[in-house]
Amino acid sequence: MQQGPQIQMSMPLTYVVKRLIIVNVAIWVLGVIILQSVMGKPWAIAYLGLTPYRLITDFWVWQPFTYMFLHSSNIFHILFNMFILWWAGGELENHWGRKNFLKYYLVTGFGAAFIYILGVTAYYLITQNSVPMGTPVIGASGAVFGLMLAYGIIFGERTIYFMALFPMKAKHFVMLLGAIEVFTLLNDGFSSGVANLCHIGGILVGYLYLVIWARLRRSGAKKSKKGGPKGNLRLVVDNENNESDDGPRYWN
């Protein structure tokens, strides 16, 4: 018998999620709060934040990876990202396993940076506005939005509370967040102080990753003639009721 929408009652603090949170908080305390805010040395953001100009002209190729472990001095920036990492990441890690979860997290964060670089470079070539090219982007938001995309696909029928008041299915919540990001980017461009394109990039890369991953595993299952994919990745609309196989200083 098909069950109705379910409400998530627990948020497990899993192995990889816990260590990602520890790394993010440690870098925030040491690199942003102590070095930047207290000592006035913005080295962490200058060298480890994602600055498209530095990447393209100076070949600071580590930045698309390191930027996702930095956050602004505003505590709500890191609190929001770490909360979503805990909320969605724990469920996904339990579902996929440690290795697959970490791979997805890093790929979506890196891919979001790549899309952002392409977008601001195109914007610069068209408008000659160089501000986005020289403004560092920091935060785990690209990877976090990728996690929310995966959560909305796999656990889409779960009921969550938007703004802690309005119940809605997880898949509709993710759609709403994506629509807000697109609207903000179209309305404000690169002047909002938030890297909306990076957030959208995390969603796009996450979707492509899941689709390609699922197809590869289905293809491998057919070749092995074992009747089912190896591993535990299942890209379904409702995994729980599965009845089918089928100018600012930095932006955050």
* Integer Cα distance of 218 and 229 in angstroms: 6
Q: Residue 249 pLDDT > 60, yes or no?
A: no
Q: What is the mean pLDDT of the chain?
A: 86
- Burial of residue 246 (CB within 10 Å: 0-12, 13-18, 19+) is exposed
Q: What is the pLDDT of residue 239?
A: 47
Sequence-distant (6+) residues with CB within 8 A of 141 are: 81, 112, 195, 198, 199, 202, 252
The pLDDT assigned to 51 comes to: 96
CA distance 249 to 252: 10
Which range (91-100, 200-209, 237-246) has the least confidence?
A: 237-246
Q: Residue 137: its pLDDT value, please?
A: 96
CATH topology of domain 15-224: Rhomboid-like fold (1.20.1540)
Cα–Cα separations (whole angstroms), residue 78 to 42, 72, 102, 156, 241: 17, 7, 19, 25, 33
- Give the helix/strand (H/E) hosting 222: helix 196-224
Place of tokens 């001095």: 73
Q: What is the pLDDT of residue 244?
A: 43
Q: Is 41 strand, coil or helix? A: coil
Q: What does the pLDDT look like over 24-82, one tens digit per residue?
A: 999 999 999 999 989 988 899 999 999 999 999 999 999 999 999 999 999 999 999 99
CB 138 within 8 A of CB 49: yes
User: Is the predicted pLDDT of residue 222 greater than 90, yes or no?
Assistant: no
Residue (of 113, 119, 178, 173) closest to 139 by Cα position: 113
Chain segment 132-169, per-residue pLDDT in tens: 999 999 999 999 999 999 999 999 899 887 666 778 89
Which residue would you say has higher pLDDT here, 9 or 220?
220
Contacts of 230 (CB under 8 A, 6+ apart): 217, 220, 221, 224
DSSP string, 84-128: HHHHHHHHHHHHH-HHHHHHHHHHHHHHHHHHHHHHHHHHHHHH-
Q: Quote the pLDDT of residue 161.
A: 75
Q: How confident is the model at residue 164, as a pLDDT? A: 63
Residue 237 predicted with pLDDT over 50: no
pTM for the full predicted model: 0.84
pLDDT at 192: 81
Q: Choose among 165, 134, 154, 171: nearest CA to 90.
A: 154
Backbone angles phi, psi at 191, to 5 degrees: -110, 5
